[in-house]
Amino acid sequence: MKLRHWLSILAPLCLAGLAGAQALGPLPAFEGGGLPGGIPIAPEESSRAATAVEIAVLLTILTLLPAVLVTITSFTRIVIVLSFVRRALSVNELPPNPVILGLALFLTTFVMAPVGTRIYEQAYQPYQNGQLTLEQAGGKAWDQLSVFLVANTRTSELELFADMAKLEMPEKGNELELPARVIVPAFVLSELKTAFQMGFLLFLPFLVIDLIVSSILLSMGMFMLPPVMISTPFKILVFVLVDGWHLVCESLVTSFVTT
């Protein structure tokens, strides 16, 4: 994947933070346009100070990246389903956590690439070229991101948070009019529900194997032999024969609406 695609995924963060900094208004000006005591500041120094403030805001926003990654991308659904797969196979340490998180991260990058590309082209590049202000670029970035969030959120969750926020639910097709404080938590709740539904469906075939193995062991009088010791190899064999990781990753990626 091109480097600009990686950078474009961070664009909503950067633009939103810079727009928020701009919304706070300019820094207070001292008498005479300089420092306290009437010490003047050259225009070049003032420009460098403004740039330093933007860098400080950007670095502060980047510290919130993990929370943003979990809340406004496909990461939550992907990592939960992958964890369900590992649990259903009864191999609690294989694949290791770093592998699960790494796979979830790259699948998230793959899913969010179209959204990030549109944000990069319609918001970040015009801002870099001076065609948009910070506030305008942040608004365009949120417009593109909210399309993805609303498309992958159940209407019932949007209605729930709109009702709690005492807002009138817009007509079907106009959900983008809702504010971020309604869309984001509704999206997270919807992702949790979808992830657990997919995890339940993944558990069913492996549960059948466990029941069959347990019944056979009981009928043979092997009460002291843990069924997991016998069923785990069979579950891994079935998972490998059906190319389980291929099916799981394909199902996860295609379960999202990105257009």
Kindly report whether the global pTM for this prediction surpasses the value 0.75. Answer: no
Confirm if 79 and 105 have CB atoms less than 8 A apart. no
Please tell me the distance from the alpha carbon of residue 159 to that of residue 150, in angstroms, as a whole number.
12
Q: What is the pLDDT of residues 59-97, one digit of tens each?
A: 777 777 777 777 888 888 898 898 888 888 877 777 888
Q: How far is Cα 213 from Cα 216, in angstroms, rounded to an integer? A: 5
**Domain membership flag for residue 28:** no
Long-range contacts formed by 54-61: CB under 8 A, 24+ apart? 54/18, 54/21, 57/17, 57/18, 57/20, 57/21, 58/14, 58/17, 58/18, 60/17, 61/13, 61/14, 61/16, 61/17
Q: Which of 93-107, 137-151, 165-179, 244-258 has the lowest mean pLDDT?
A: 165-179
pLDDT band (50, 70, 90) for residue 50:
low
Q: Which of 32-36, 45-49, 79-83, 145-149 has the lowest mean pLDDT?
A: 32-36
Q: Is residue 245 part of a domain?
A: yes
Predicted local distance difference test score (pLDDT) of residue 251: 87
3-state DSSP assignment of residue 39 = strand
DSSP state at residue 35: B
Domain assignment present for residue 11? The answer is: yes
In a domain, 94, yes or no: yes
Percent of the chain's residues with pLDDT above 90: 0
> Is 164 contained in some domain?
no
Question: How many angstroms separate the CA atoms of 232 and 93, rounded?
Answer: 13
How many domains, in total, are found in the chain? 1
pLDDT of residue 256: 84
Q: Is residue 60 part of a domain?
A: yes
Which residues partner with 39 through β-bridges? 35
Q: Which domain holds residue 74?
A: 3-22+43-154+181-254
In a domain, 189, yes or no: yes
Average pLDDT over residues 87-115: 84
DSSP class of residue 122 equals I
Please answer whether residues 40 and 153 qualify as being in contact, where contact means their C-beta atoms are separated by less than 8 angstroms: no
Could you tell me where the DSSP H helices lie in 125-243? 125-128, 134-151, 155-164, 180-219, 227-241
**pLDDT for 24 beyond 70:** no
Q: Provide the pLDDT for residue 32.
A: 43
pLDDT at 241: 87
Closest CA to 72 of 210, 180, 221, 225: 180
In a domain, 102, yes or no: yes
Structure tokens belonging to residue 203? 């558990």
